[in-house]
Amino acid sequence: VVRAAIAYIDDRGLPELTMRRLAATLGVEAMSLYKHVSGRDNLLDTVVESVVDELSGDPQVQLEPESDWQDYLRRLAHGLRRIALDHPQIFPLIATRPPAAPWIRPPLRSLNWIEAFLSSLRSQGFTDSQTVAAYKAFTSFLLGHLLLEVAHYGAPIGPEETRREGDGLPLGDLKGYPTVRALAQQLSTNTAAQEFESSLENLLGRLAAIRSGKP
Amino acid sequence: VVRAAIAYIDDRGLPELTMRRLAATLGVEAMSLYKHVSGRDNLLDTVVESVVDELSGDPQVQLEPESDWQDYLRRLAHGLRRIALDHPQIFPLIATRPPAAPWIRPPLRSLNWIEAFLSSLRSQGFTDSQTVAAYKAFTSFLLGHLLLEVAHYGAPIGPEETRREGDGLPLGDLKGYPTVRALAQQLSTNTAAQEFESSLENLLGRLAAIRSGKP
DNA sequence: ACCTGAACACCGTTCAAGT
DNA sequence: ACCTGAACACCGTTCAAGT
């Protein structure tokens, strides 16, 4: 039911999703969707929830962390990154939809994952306030990085057009922006994978510092 | 012309903005807006551009950085944060709208600011690739932090409803999530200002490390 | 040069009616 | 219990016509 919506957004894009069109791809005649879901907004919320829960099916991310916390956070971060890259059209929705409670932060989002995150850290030497600080830093890092990575090649892909690396450079329009022009090549090459790794390691180091002392 | 749209989104919210309603608030009869702007998407792009350019009018952020780069980046970051907090309804749009070129990253977004950023760092000891790395790290940090900070109290505010600190906690529904419940109080208190400062300082330290060696 | 009115194709959603 | 058809209020956008 909701799987069809995910598939639809994945290859037609969010703005193309329409109750009538979605119903059409399901063979069903139109607005009998309202028997299964209570409106468009509700449908989108369900889509977000369902995509986030793909984490549960990810063998690389186990819910109960018996290894150390750094390893657990690394696997969790990579699991979320995989989701973002699998659904570049949906991820901004995960980031943007207002959460039920103000402290439920994207992209972790579900109480199951937040509970796992918090209890894992707390059981491994983090005090309460250190755990909360780690949660906030972790979500903030993931959101910023993944949103930008996904936007790099995800968002502007329309139904028919495709883009190549280094494409869309308005080199002629860069008069007056000499530095931008000089660095255009490096700016447009996608190094997101390495950035993700090094930023993640930096964050883990920062959390380790938080754990053993200062805040 | 576009100022009206900004004001409208600021206090009615993005989904409420409609060509017809906007026209109505302008006293004009309806779709003569199309003489001034070429469509709704174009209008939103103009709104984003205009809001970002509020930076230029910010006396705390000077375009030509004669002080050192850390100070410049600090002021720039705070300037963008001020914009985000001034327009909580619009900021997600700044973050989400697909940029013209893939390396134009939110929330910096305009070529003027990207140029200023890059040339400032490059003139103060950063190599080309270090400058680019700094640009990516800086935008990623800002986007993640500000989007979450704004979402905390910005997004779900409807026209009539207001929320208070610690509101909306479904404390009864937290059976099975003991850690979440134990930390609920701390999770829901807004410490974004301090987090912003310490994350920013951490980032500046990281950029300093990048500058002198390792990248 | 700017605004208007009517029209077009399309939305999300409701609801009585069918099976 | 599920689907349908028609209808309602509302969209964004176009365009000939007014001033």
**pLDDT tens across A110-134, in order?**
999 999 999 999 999 999 999 999 9
Q: ω into residue A107 within 30 of 0, thus cis?
A: yes
CA distance B18 to chain A (A): 16
pTM metric for this prediction:
0.92
Residue in chain A lying closest to B156 (CA): A98
Percent of chain A predicted with pLDDT > 70? 88
> Which one is predicted more confidently, B61 or A148?
A148
Distance CA A99, CA A113 (A): 14
pLDDT at B171: 53
| Chain B residues with beta carbon closer than 8 angstroms to that of A98 | 151, 155-156
Q: How confident is the model at residue A154 (pLDDT cuts 50, 70, 90)?
A: low
| Chain B residues with beta carbon closer than 8 angstroms to that of A118 | 179-180, 183
Q: If you search the block for the tokens 């850690």, which residue do you land on?
A: B179
Three-class DSSP labels, chain B: CHHHHHHHHHHHCHHHCCHHHHHHHCCCCCHHHHHCCCCHHHHHHHHHHHHHHHHHHCCCCCCCCCCCHHHHHHHHHHHHHHHHHHCCCCHHHHHHCCCCCCCCCCCCCCHHHHHHHHHHHHCCCCCHHHHHHHHHHHHHHHHHHHHHHHHHHCCCCCCCCCCCCCCCCCHHHHCCCHHHHHHHHHHHCCCHHHHHHHHHHHHHHHHHHHHCCCC
The answer to whether residue B212 neighbours chain A at the CB level (below 8 Å) is: no
| Chain B residues with beta carbon closer than 8 angstroms to that of A180 | 111, 114-115, 118
Q: Is the CB of A24 under 7 A from strand D?
A: no
Tens-place pLDDT, residues A187-214: 999 999 999 999 999 999 999 999 997 6
Nearest to A168 among B102, B122, B170 (CB): B102
Long-range contacts, A160-169 (Cβ 8 Å, 24+): A163/B102, A165/A189, A165/A190, A167/B102, A168/B100, A168/B101, A168/B102, A169/B101
Q: Is the CB of B39 under 7 A from strand D?
A: yes
Question: Does the structure show a pLDDT above 60 at A158?
Answer: no
pLDDT at B29: 82
Q: How confident is the model at residue A173 (pLDDT cuts 50, 70, 90)?
A: confident
Tens-place pLDDT, residues A43-98: 999 999 999 999 999 988 875 556 799 999 999 999 999 999 999 999 999 999 98
pLDDT at B65: 53
pLDDT at A161: 38
Residue in chain A lying closest to B168 (CA): A101
pLDDT at B213: 80
Q: Which regions of chain B are under pLDDT 50?
A: 156-166
CA distance B3 to chain A (A): 24
> What residues contact B179, with CB distance under 8 A and at least 6 apart?
A115, A118, A119, A122
Contact assessment for residue B109 and residue B103, using Cβ atoms and an 8 Å cutoff: no
Beta-carbon count within 10 A of B66 CB: 8
CB pair distance less than 8 Å for A118 and B183: yes
The answer to whether residue B142 neighbours chain A at the CB level (below 8 Å) is: yes
| Chain A residues with beta carbon closer than 8 angstroms to that of B191 | 136
The answer to whether residue B92 neighbours chain A at the CB level (below 8 Å) is: yes
Identify which of A86, A7, A70 has the alpha carbon closest to the alpha carbon of residue A206. A70
